[in-house]
Amino acid sequence: MIRIPKTIYDEIISYTNSKLPNEACGILAGINNLVKKIYKMRNVEESPESYLMDPHEQIRVMKDIRENNMKMLAIFHSHPKTPARPSAKDINMAFYDDVFYIIVSFMNKIPDVKAFKIIGKSVTLEKILIED
Amino acid sequence: MKLTVNGKIESFEKESLTIEELLKLKKVKMPEMVTVELNGTILEREKFKTTYVKDNDSIEFIYYMGGGSPII
């Protein structure tokens, strides 16, 4: 289970929504599965069907996470027109066993947000607890 | 030799290591999907085999973060 403060949860949705029709992406960091900070990342592919983070930005963010004594807890991205479940490409590029992969789907009017753990080819749905 | 790897100081028995060898020692699953920064500069992948690290170097490595949702 990942715990996300409501303000950050809303930011995930508003940021990914602001980048439509393209996919958007970011990183969540925190302590003990409680998210403390959102990093809104650039999708260098600027595509409605894929995302790739900028490696320079990734390294900068990882250093910031360390300096603030946090851990990377989740990687989020949006699916503008497909469901909130990992695609084959999402699974193939899920290299971090210990982070949550959060997908925001805008396929329907109300955004659907789901979290997963992806280990190898095994995908497990995880609970998101939104905290006030 | 001592290296700082992803912010942690680590000791290595070998006095000479390429980036490729270092990634192997760190059990990186797919080195071709990793970005490496050596002393603040991102290395081109072609240089992983030929670039040696030395005592007190600082290395950051991170997997690509990407994916996609092909529209069917």
Cβ–Cβ gap A95/B30 under 8 Å: yes
* pLDDT tens digits for range A50-90: 999 999 999 999 999 999 999 999 999 999 999 999 999 99
Arithmetic mean of pLDDT, A15-28: 98
For residues A119 and B68, which has the higher predicted lDDT (pLDDT)?
Answer: A119
Percent of chain A topping pLDDT 70: 100
Q: What is the pLDDT of residue A55?
A: 94
Q: What is the pLDDT of residue A3?
A: 98
What distance, in Å, lies between the first and last C-alpha atoms of chain A? 16
Amino acid at A68: N
What is the complex's ipTM, to 2 decimals? 0.89
For residues B15 and A105, which has the higher predicted lDDT (pLDDT)?
Answer: A105
Q: Which domains does chain B have, with CATH numbers?
A: 2-63 (3.10.20.30)
Q: What is the pLDDT of residue B29?
A: 82
Tokens of A58: 């990734």
CB nearest B42 (choices: A48, A56, A95) = A56
CATH code of the domain occupying A2-131: 3.40.140.10
Q: What is the pLDDT of residue B72?
A: 57
Arithmetic mean of pLDDT, A16-38: 97
Q: Does B8 touch chain A (CB under 8 A)?
A: no
Cβ–Cβ gap A50/B35 under 8 Å: no
Q: What is the pLDDT of residue B71?
A: 65
Cβ–Cβ gap B63/A95 under 8 Å: yes
Closest Cα of chain B to A17: distance in Å?
A: 16
Tokens of A109: 């009017």
Q: Which of B60, B69, B71 to mutate to test the interface with A (most CBs of A within 10 A)?
A: B69
Cβ–Cβ gap B68/A51 under 8 Å: yes
CB nearest A77 (choices: B7, B63, B67) = B67
Percent of chain A topping pLDDT 90: 98
Cβ–Cβ gap A87/B69 under 8 Å: yes
pLDDT band (50, 70, 90) for residue A93: very high
pLDDT band (50, 70, 90) for residue A9: very high
* pLDDT tens digits for range B34-69: 999 999 999 999 999 999 999 999 999 999 999 988
Q: What is the pLDDT of residue A12?
A: 98
8 A C-beta contact, residue B34 and residue B28: yes
| CA gap B69, A131 in Å, rounded | 29
Cβ–Cβ gap A50/B69 under 8 Å: yes
Closest Cα of chain A to B72: distance in Å?
A: 9
Residues of B in contact with A53 (CB under 8 A): 64-66
| CA gap A29, A93 in Å, rounded | 19
The pTM score is 0.94
| CA gap A31, A72 in Å, rounded | 9
Which residue of chain B comes nearest to A64, CA vs CA? B7
